Structure 1
Amino acid sequence: MWTSIFIGIYVIIALSIVLSILLYGAKPTKSLAWLLAIFALPVGGIFLYLLLGRNRRRYKLIEHQKDLFSKLPKPNTEQINVFDGKYGKLMTLSYKNSHFPPTSGNDLKILKDGKSTFETIFCALEGATKRIHIQYYIFEDGDLATRLLNLFEQKIAHGVVVRLIYDGIGSFSLSKKYLKKLLEIGVEVYSFLPFKFGRYFYSLNFRNHRKIIVVDGAIAFTGGINVSDKYLKGQVGLGKWHDMHLRLIGPAATQLDQVFMTDWYLVSTKLLAAIEQPKSYAKQPVSNELVQIVAGGPDDDFPVLEQTYFSMINMAKGYIYITNPYIVPGQALIRALQTAALSGVDVRLLVSEKADNQVVSWSVHSYFELFLKAGIKIYLFPDGFLHSKIMVSDDAISSIGTANLDDRSFEQNYEVNAIMYHTQIAKQLKEDFLNDCKISNELAYDDFIKRPWSKKLKEGVGKVLSPLF
């Protein structure tokens, strides 16, 4: 009797999930993968789907997102006029998706690797007079975390408000002892979707991958670098972590602060108010070239960052250079990259030779043959682990941020990038890219297709599993 009841309940649940996948599945490949998992793995397939497979665009976490965005400043006439320029379509796309217009009057500084990045960050934090907003996907115990704790204590003693968001899974190793100290000194701290049974159990697969620091609403940082000592001391088996970060002073920093405040509302249900920039920051050297903040996540109606990358690739005329450790693109980006290369655009990919996740590395390599055959140049960076997320094109436009070229960044993670319509920055990133290529190993199509069958088999496994990443 009990067996019949169990089977009946199981069939009802399975059929309801199958119906949900057919009605609201995000992509055919993922839908098919989940259908196969449910039928091939009784009970286990259903559990995995409930844990990892729900379409977050259908079931939004931020129920009042439109109300939050309605509070953003509207673009003025001058800002709207720039939408008609060379990259007007991309600006319009990004504005409609993320609600941030491109702004001028920003001072930008490229920060490469951990040492220079954290030196600049601590310098800015020490100058805070009103508030510090900080959020990271990975926030780990160590020398950096201890130094931040001591600085927070000093600033709070002088009346500075410190707010911290850390991702519940990315920062899973962060000790309770450290969190207790943060609370004791007065830091307002929240975990983003912590792993627990209850409301957020079904959201385990949706992570906040953003890295943002904003000081007094006027100086901001974003990019690929997390709070981890491996950026200073390296990691056993991988060596030194190489990454790129960006410092922004001006209106773009205010936009990044708004991204933080939106996430703060999600974790705390508290609405924060923007603050006016201190007059001292207005004296900083600024540029009339434009910066646009693009934030995306599973609450958005469209895959914001995927559309941004797709547009940048399609708009390239001379070259498009991409640095990213996780290039696991969908069909749209594959076609865009192949089409660009076959039409004469110089398309180059710079990928880390070493990997922090072997299965993901197999998946990345599984696309190389398709790329090489189309004339795309691929370079493997051998010195440590290359974690940067950079795209630069035509000495005119570039992107630095947190988003990888994979479905996780496009569909499941909260991400943020800075799009810079800025000639000087583009040339600087291009030069850095070409210098890294000089010390990297370029793949040749004729040699690559002769790789052992065992590697091809691993790549096949990686590609099959990639829709579930």
Structure 2
Amino acid sequence: MKNIVGISLFFLLLIGPWFFLIKEAEGGFVFYSSLILTLFLTIIGFVIFLENRNPIQTITWLVVFGAFPFIGCIFYFLFGHNFRKERIFRKKYFLGKQSFVKISGEAEYNERIKEMGESSQQLITLANRLGNSPVSFTTETRILRNGQETFFNIIEQLKRARHHIHLEYYIVRDDGIGCALKDVLMEKASEGVEIRFLYDAVGSWKLARSYIDDLKRAGVEMVAFGPLQLPFLNNTFNFRNHRKIIVIDGCVGFVGGLNIGDEYLGLDSKFGYWRDTHLIVKGEAVRTLQLIFLQDWYYSTNRSFLTDEYLMTDVSPPSDHGGVQLIAGGPDSEWTVIKSIFFKMITAAEKSVWIASPYFVPDDDILQALKVAALSGLDVRLLVPKNPDKKIVYHASRTYFPEMLASGVRIFQYKEGFMHSKIIIVDDQLASIGTTNMDMRSFHLNFEVNAFLYRTESTQQLVNDFVNDLKVSQEVEMDEFSNRSFRLKVLESTCRLLSPLL
């Protein structure tokens, strides 16, 4: 499939300009250029048809090509060409399946799981089968509720590293906190600590070359995930590594919503206070974070470090920390892993479902699950930003408000700066925190990682934080929301129409 489009585009770029010039001299430029464009769009449309995408996505692409052919072409090569992603990531998929065998047999499903209740047992089993990751009852977690707490703890833990530091981020910036991190990494590298840093090539496209070179000269291995090429020649352009992971000496880990940049400290005047949530992890479950990083590293470099040196973790006796399960999802997975777990959490809820997400563009499954939960009398609440950072996604998300409000979902808009937390809390007992947004890009295209918490102290802290966030939020009322201008409704509907393409 890729070859068909690639050859067609190459042919168009190679002989198209000469063909146009010849025909222009004969007075037939418009006719022949339109003919070539039509043939090319027909080929792309046929490829999309054979990919068996969601029918809504297929129809949306065809409509865009028909209405805006030139813009549609550019948009497709930037965001649309999936070209059999299972073949692209086949190596990564099988590596993940094999890697998690290293720890899957070490965590037995003992009496602690039975104490969790039937719903939790089912969720743990589902997460283990989809994500190949066991639950741990010997892992300590702590919630970090803003940039100050998060980066303070990260810097402190990095300074204590003795053997290795592994970092994996979507966005890395060459600013205040970025330079502070760089200084610590360079210092640790000079002490002989092994440091591997994986950053996403698209998310970090603004990162200065000097930043990367300084770290490399200091001995830090810097690798870009999905290096940028011309979009139409790069199959992986649309599949981004959205994970935020740090592993220190295999025993301390970080995961959550914060990238590396000053805006996450609330230092960007455009956003003001940045409300986000991160998690520090200590103990057995850090091995899962380590495995996720190591398989991403192998995929990007063809170098493997899947040895006991990196996978051994001091495991304490079972404690009262509750259950912790780290799950990776992405286009290399056989299933839509994290979305499926979210769906199970919502449909298994008995009392409440609370969700915080900066970007809310759900697919039909999640949307229906939320509406049915609310119609069943459950306390369903959605917390989103009032002030957007991505306007297309922001306007698209608002088109879902009327049907959700009608079903009984309570929607709150966070007013105190920008809300970037990615949280789900069910029945005050189960929770998810990580990098996954409640949108189709996170569900189907991005590489993500989430921590699922079962009756932990961190779960209760998330409950308390959610309640406090509602105090500085404005609830959306149906009557008031329905009175927004016609122009705004048209804008929102247009953004929603484009959302399946992103």
- Aligned partner of 1:27 in structure 2 is 54
Counterpart of 1:45 (choices 69, 72, 84) is 72
Separation (CA, whole Å) in 2 of partners of 1:227 and 1:275: 30
1:108: Cα distance to partner? 0.5
- Aligned partner of 2:387 in structure 1 is 354
User: Aligned with 1:170: secondary structure?
Assistant: coil
Q: Counterparts in 2 of 1:276-291, with a 5 A limit? A: 287-291=320-324
- Structure 1, unmatched stretches of 5+, are none
- Aligned partner of 1:196 in structure 2 is 229
Indicate if the aligned counterparts of 2:41 and 2:69 stay in contact, CA closer than 8 A.
Answer: no
Separation (CA, whole Å) in 1 of partners of 2:310 and 2:302: 25
Aligned-partner residue type, residue 307 of structure 1: S
Separation (CA, whole Å) in 2 of partners of 1:262 and 1:278: 12
Q: Counterparts in 2 of 1:379-458, with a 5 A limit? A: 379-458=412-491
Q: Counterparts in 2 of 1:132-171, with a 5 A limit? A: 132-171=165-204
Root-mean-square deviation (CA, aligned residues, Å) is: 2.5
Counterpart of 2:281 (choices 237, 242, 248) is 248
Separation (CA, whole Å) in 2 of partners of 1:71 and 1:207: 21
Higher deviation after alignment, 407-416 or 199-208 = 199-208
Whether 1:75 aligns to 2:75 is: no
Deviations 1:260-310 (A, max 9, x none): 111111211111124458999657995452111111111222221211111
Higher deviation after alignment, 279-288 or 36-45 = 279-288
Q: Counterparts in 2 of 1:44-123, with a 5 A limit? A: 44-55=71-82, 58-64=85-91, 65-72=93-100, 73-76=102-105, 79-81=108-110, 82=113, 85-123=118-156
Indicate if the aligned counterparts of 2:137 and 2:321 stay in contact, CA closer than 8 A.
Answer: yes
1:55: Cα distance to partner? 2.8
Counterpart of 1:36 (choices 58, 63, 71) is 63
Deviations 1:48-73 (A, max 9, x none): 32332123654443332214421322
- Structure 2, unmatched stretches of 5+, are 1-17, 24-30
Indicate if the aligned counterparts of 2:360 and 2:397 stay in contact, CA closer than 8 A.
Answer: yes
1:198: Cα distance to partner? 7.9
Deviations 1:207-247 (A, max 9, x none): 11100000011110000001001122432222121100000
Inter-CA distance 265–311: structure 2 relative to 1 (3 Å threshold): same
Higher deviation after alignment, 71-80 or 252-261 = 71-80
Aligned-partner residue type, residue 366 of structure 2: L
Counterpart of 2:220 (choices 169, 187, 194) is 187
1:188: Cα distance to partner? 0.3
Indicate if the aligned counterparts of 2:263 and 2:271 stay in contact, CA closer than 8 A.
Answer: no
Inter-CA distance 192–280: structure 2 relative to 1 (3 Å threshold): closer
Aligned-partner residue type, residue 167 of structure 1: D
Indicate if the aligned counterparts of 1:24 and 1:58 stay in contact, CA closer than 8 A.
Answer: no
Count of matched residue pairs? 469
Counterpart of 2:265 (choices 232, 243, 259) is 232
Whether 1:316 aligns to 2:349 is: yes
Separation (CA, whole Å) in 1 of partners of 2:34 and 2:489: 40
- Aligned partner of 2:3 in structure 1 is none
User: Aligned with 1:462: secondary structure?
Assistant: helix
Indicate if the aligned counterparts of 1:51 and 1:202 stay in contact, CA closer than 8 A.
Answer: no
Separation (CA, whole Å) in 2 of partners of 1:139 and 1:361: 23
1:368: Cα distance to partner? 0.9
Aligned-partner residue type, residue 439 of structure 1: V
Aligned-partner residue type, residue 373 of structure 1: A
Deviations 1:78-111 (A, max 9, x none): 6345489432332222222221111110010100
Deviations 1:15-49 (A, max 9, x none): 44333322223211111111222333335434432
Whether 1:340 aligns to 2:373 is: yes
Aligned-partner residue type, residue 453 of structure 1: F
Separation (CA, whole Å) in 1 of partners of 2:348 and 2:96: 32
Higher deviation after alignment, 261-270 or 4-13 = 4-13
Aligned-partner residue type, residue 271 of structure 1: S
Separation (CA, whole Å) in 2 of partners of 1:403 and 1:278: 25
Separation (CA, whole Å) in 2 of partners of 1:371 and 1:278: 45
Separation (CA, whole Å) in 1 of partners of 2:314 and 2:103: 23
Aligned-partner residue type, residue 98 of structure 2: S
User: Aligned with 1:207: secondary structure?
Assistant: coil
Aligned-partner residue type, residue 447 of structure 1: E
Indicate if the aligned counterparts of 1:56 and 1:299 stay in contact, CA closer than 8 A.
Answer: no
- Identity across aligned pairs (percent)? 35
Higher deviation after alignment, 198-207 or 427-436 = 198-207
Higher deviation after alignment, 78-87 or 391-400 = 78-87
1:388: Cα distance to partner? 0.4
- Aligned partner of 2:244 in structure 1 is 211
Please report the TM-score for the alignment, with normalisation by the length of structure 2.
Answer: 0.87
- Aligned partner of 1:365 in structure 2 is 398
Inter-CA distance 23–279: structure 2 relative to 1 (3 Å threshold): closer
1:446: Cα distance to partner? 2.1
Separation (CA, whole Å) in 2 of partners of 1:294 and 1:271: 21
Higher deviation after alignment, 256-265 or 192-201 = 192-201
Separation (CA, whole Å) in 1 of partners of 2:266 and 2:467: 25
Please report the TM-score for the alignment, with normalisation by the length of structure 1.
Answer: 0.93
Structure whose alpha-carbon radius of gyration is higher: 2
Separation (CA, whole Å) in 2 of partners of 1:431 and 1:352: 19
Separation (CA, whole Å) in 2 of partners of 1:70 and 1:282: 22
